[in-house]
Amino acid sequence: MPKEEQQRTTERAHAKCLSKC
């Protein structure tokens, strides 16, 4: 998995967590 894709996925997960929180 490319580092860029992983970073983007992590950013998306963080945004989801913030939205959920």
The pTM of this model reads 0.34
- Output the pLDDT for position 14: 85
- Output the pLDDT for position 8: 92
Q: Encode pLDDT of 2-19 as tens digits.
A: 899 999 998 888 888 777
List, in sequence order, the alpha helices (H) in the chain.
Answer: 3-20
Give SS3 for 16: helix
Residue 1 has pLDDT above 80, yes or no: no
Q: Is the Cα torsion angle 11, 15, 21, 1 positive or negative in sign? A: negative
Cα–Cα dist 5/21, whole Å: 24
Retrieve residue 19's tokens.
């939205």
- Output the pLDDT for position 2: 84
